[in-house]
Amino acid sequence: MNETLTVLNSINEKLGLIVEAMNLDKPAYVKVAEQTLEVSNAKVEEIVPVVQEKEERPYSLNAEAQVKAFKGYIEGMNKQPEIAIGSRVTYTGEEREALLGKIGTVVDLRKAWTVVRFDDDGGDTKCRKKDLSLAGNEQPPEKTEAEVAVEEASQKEPQVESESAFDEEAASFKFEEGSYRQYRDIHAIYSDTKKTEGNRRYLRFRAKNVVKGDTVAKEMCHRYLIGVEDEVYLKEVGA
């Protein structure tokens, strides 16, 4: 009996300790853990919006870059090519009314002057570059009836180059300066289907005029045009 009471009292004491433990305040380490958790949660709330902004911003920057690149592309398309020897230009300055609206060909470039040989004028005229503008991207403003006829004939009946008449040496001649130096040789200039009219007009001009004392270029252009039997040039020189 005594042993039973002893066991029951021991159990009762332990239950009492458990009840007291349940009613005690939270341990210090639990409080510290809860405070740390609260601070961490606050930091997370601050960081999450920043992370979201960084995730969205690359898209915005990419869109801005695309718009900027598109604007640059448009500006590049609208940018006018520079005036070079052989360019067809129009006088648009206000200083010399007699030249206003006249169209000619650039024959020389100097430090302060651009030398132009205006159509129907015998000599060369020195002009300020600011007073000149490209005339239709080196294309004549209007095609003559003879040029239209030649173009139509060349499209219907492709010209056959005679081996005996074709001048290989002249065809392989390359301009060393000016806007046409980008071409491999004279034959490539003459055969460029995208710029047929302007290119062939330029070769006819160089075949009849000495530019910057380059007599070799004049001779080569003349020989080439004779060799391919360019009808417009043959009529111009009376061959």
226 and 159: one domain?
yes
* CA–CA gap between residue 167 and residue 182 (Å, rounded): 21
Per-residue pLDDT, 21 = 59
165 and 233: one domain?
yes
167 and 118: one domain?
no
Write out pLDDT tens, residues 129-165.
Answer: 889 988 764 444 455 666 666 667 666 655 444 444 6
Question: What CATH number did the domain enclosing 109 receive?
Answer: 2.30.30
pTM given for the model = 0.37
The encoded tokens of residue 120 equal 């129907």
151 and 233: one domain?
yes
Per-residue pLDDT, 164 = 47
44 and 117: one domain?
no
Per-residue pLDDT, 141 = 46
22 and 68: one domain?
yes
Burial (Cβ within 10 Å: 0-12, 13-18, ≥19) of residue 228: buried
Q: Is residue 94 part of a domain?
A: yes
113 sits in the region (left: phi over 0; alpha: psi -120 to 50; else beta) called beta
Shortest CA distance to 104 belongs to which of 82, 135, 142?
Answer: 135
Per-residue pLDDT, 162 = 43
124 and 72: one domain?
no
Q: Is residue 216 part of a domain?
A: yes
Per-residue pLDDT, 237 = 87
61 and 102: one domain?
no
Max CA distance (Å), the chain? 150
153 and 205: one domain?
yes
Per-residue pLDDT, 93 = 86
Q: Is residue 123 part of a domain?
A: yes
Per-residue pLDDT, 200 = 92
DSSP H helices, 88-156, are 145-156
Euclidean distance between the first and the last CA atom of the chain, given in angstroms as a whole number = 149
* CA–CA gap between residue 120 and residue 202 (Å, rounded): 16
* Domain ranges, residue 109: 88-134
Q: Is residue 214 part of a domain?
A: yes
Overall domain count for the chain? 3
Segments of the chain with pLDDT less than 50? 59, 137-141, 159-164
Per-residue pLDDT, 218 = 93
Rounded to 10 deg, the angle between the 215-227 and 196-208 helix axes is 120
Q: Is residue 83 part of a domain?
A: no
Q: Is residue 199 part of a domain?
A: yes
Q: Is residue 96 part of a domain?
A: yes
Q: Is residue 18 part of a domain?
A: yes
